[in-house]
């Protein structure tokens, strides 16, 4: 089985409080990739509570975003229409729950590859790609850079370079 993981394609990261033009630019490619994917697709959702500003992340990034139940927390509507599995809510950049799910899926139906797309390359994509690499070290982990965007174009490139060093394949 080939697995596609769509990371945090939520309104706040696309055109909301933390949105970027790069995130808006990749949106049509992300939608096309999901529609044409031959395999299983999983989705993650950055999820925070009303006390976000009192958390470590909130103190370091004092911009309320992806507060559960808000419009900004929702997955972008065109992508949401394509979802067939319950998204994985994650309370931090990376999700150990995702790692556990990957092990379960691999146990049921051998995973041949895992491809990551989404936002933000330099925070949540890299974190979850590294978790996948740690949980399933022999499964090829791929990041489709054309369907990812970072906080800045430069941090996007830096994250891609860091993942290459960790033997994550980068597809342009």
- Tell me, what's the pLDDT at 135? 98
What CATH code would you report for 2-46+74-171?
A: 3.40.50.850
Alpha carbons 80 and 151: distance in angstroms, whole number: 22
- Tell me, what's the pLDDT at 70? 98
Closest listed residue to residue 24, CA positions, set 91, 79, 92, 71: 79
pTM of model > 0.85: yes
Alpha carbons 74 and 86: distance in angstroms, whole number: 13
> Is residue 43 helix, strand or coil?
strand
- Mean pLDDT on 36-61: 97
- Mean pLDDT on 131-149: 98
**What value does the mean pLDDT of the chain take?**
98
Domain ranges for the chain, please list them: 2-46+74-171
Query: In percent, how much of the chain has pLDDT > 70?
Result: 100
Give every CB contact of residue 124 below 8 A, 6+ residues apart in sequence.
Answer: 7, 8, 44, 46, 90, 93, 94, 118
Write the burial class of residue 135 (CB in 10 Å: 0-12 exposed, 13-18 middle, 19+ buried).
middle
- Tell me, what's the pLDDT at 31? 98
pLDDT digits (tens, 9 = 90+) for 49-60: 999 999 999 999
DSSP-H helix ranges across the chain: 11-14, 21-36, 56-60, 77-80, 96-108, 126-135, 153-165
Query: What is the residue whose two structure tokens read 């989404």?
Result: 118
Whether residue 128 contacts residue 98, with contact meaning beta carbons closer than 8 Å, is answered with yes
**pLDDT band with cut points at 50, 70 and 90 for residue 40:** very high
Whether residue 54 contacts residue 62, with contact meaning beta carbons closer than 8 Å, is answered with no
pLDDT digits (tens, 9 = 90+) for 89-133: 999 999 999 999 999 999 999 999 999 999 999 999 999 999 999
């Amino acid at each position: 089985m080939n697995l596609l993981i769509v990371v945090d394609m939520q309104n706040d990261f696309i055109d909301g409080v933390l949105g970027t033009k790069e995130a808006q630019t990749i949106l049509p490619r992300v939608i096309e990739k999901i529609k044409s994917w031959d395999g299983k697709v999983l989705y993650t959702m950055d999820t925070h509570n009303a006390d976000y500003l009192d958390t470590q992340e909130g103190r370091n990034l004092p911009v309320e975003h992806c507060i559960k139940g808000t419009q900004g927390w929702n997955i972008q509507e065109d992508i949401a229409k394509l979802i067939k599995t319950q998204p994985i809510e994650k309370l931090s950049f990376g999700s150990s729950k995702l790692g556990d799910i990957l092990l379960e899926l691999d146990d049921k139906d051998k995973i041949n590859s895992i491809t990551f797309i989404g936002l933000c390359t330099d925070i949540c994509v890299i974190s979850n790609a590294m978790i996948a690499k740690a949980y399933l070290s022999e499964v090829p982990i791929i990041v489709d850079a054309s369907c990812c965007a970072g906080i800045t174009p430069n941090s996007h490139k830096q994250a891609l370079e860091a993942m290459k060093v960790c033997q994550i394949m980068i597809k342009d």
